[in-house]
Amino acid sequence: MDYYAVIGHPIGHSKSPRIHALFAEQTGQALRYEAVLAPLDGFAGTVRDLVARGYRGFNVTVPFKGEAFVLADELTDRARRAGAVNTLKVEDDGRLLGENTDGVGLVTDLTRNLGIRLRDREVLVLGAGGAVRGVLAPLLAEGPAGLHIANRTGSRAEELARDFADLGPVTGGDLDSLRGRHSHLLINGTSAGLDDEVPPLPDDLLRPGVDCYDMMYGDRPTAFLRWAVAHGAARTADGLGMLVEQAAESFALWRGIRPRTAPVIRVLRPVQP
């Protein structure tokens, strides 16, 4: 029996143990996966203790993705570009391989599960924090016609755009930079939803046919998705599919087999009232 865990603070809300239990059952893999609450000042010590006890890998959630990046002995290209690690694999020699599966999880959910084409489309992304940094490289790899990052503090969006300019046509600015912009897909990567709020967006931001995606998820539509419906979005989706897809990437890294995600998403998706 191999042991894995998701580490965070807080952690009680995590769906990861159920997701990986469903993956293990589906693929016939013998493993145990649990949620571990690490002290805010004790992430590295928690990881080292679990490795010493024989754990083979970890998912990492807030607020430890930056610390996991530093702790990893080796980084994948995706993790290096993201500047954060959400998956650690314990190699046979005990070294830690750091990966970031958030971006590929988002892109897989958009393109495969939702059928949203990114190539040659205009994409707008709200926010300039770690969540957005983690998904930019995979989004740009899909070949959009343009990707614009908008953030309350425009300088942070502009800095992100410069950091990823070598990967494709990406620009950044403050929320006023959204005025008059056309897009095919609007992605919310801000944390405003934690307070059930929406960034101050132009009322005419959504033109006919625009899809809206919130990287957050919940049992009810997020504030951003409610705003999107009220302003005429063609389709809306939350980040539950992204959560399951990034978990599947982690599972594949650890076990060498990628589980089917659609059945798991169906199990986890709450019935909307």
For the domain made up of 103-238, give the CATH fold: Rossmann fold (3.40.50)
pLDDT at 191: 84
For the domain made up of 2-100+241-268, give the CATH fold: Rossmann fold (3.40.50)
8 A C-beta contact, residue 233 and residue 208? no
Same fold, 2-100+241-268 and 103-238: yes
Structure tokens at 272: 């909307």
Structure tokens at 135: 């998904």
pLDDT averaged per 10 residues, the chain (length 273): 97 95 97 98 98 98 95 97 96 97 98 97 96 96 98 97 98 96 95 83 93 93 95 96 98 98 92 50
Q: How many CB atoms lie within 10 A of CB 198?
A: 20
CA angle 35–54–51, rounded 5-degree value: 70
Query: The whole model's pTM is what?
Result: 0.95
Catalytic site residues? 65
Q: How many CB atoms lie within 10 A of CB 61?
A: 19
Domain ranges of the chain: 2-100+241-268, 103-238
Which of 126, 81, 141, 135 shows the shortest CA–CA distance to 103?
135
Q: How many CB atoms lie within 10 A of CB 71?
A: 17
DSSP symbol at 113: I
8 A C-beta contact, residue 46 and residue 96? no
Using a CB cutoff of 8 Å and minimum separation of 24, what contacts does 37-40 make?
37/8, 37/9, 37/10, 37/11, 37/12, 38/7, 38/8, 38/9, 38/11, 38/64, 39/9, 40/9
Q: How many CB atoms lie within 10 A of CB 166?
A: 8
Which of 99, 103, 109 shows the shortest CA–CA distance to 136?
103
pLDDT digits (tens, 9 = 90+) for 77-89: 999 999 999 999 9
Q: Whats the size of the chain, residue-wise?
A: 273
Q: Give the burial class of 41: count Cβ atoms within 10 A of its Cβ; 0-12 exposed, 13-18 middle, 19 or more buried.
A: exposed
Residue with tokens 């063609």: 234
pLDDT at 72: 98
Distance separating alpha carbons of residues 161 and 166, to the nearest angstrom: 9
C-alpha count within 13 angstroms, C-beta hemisphere, residue 80: 6
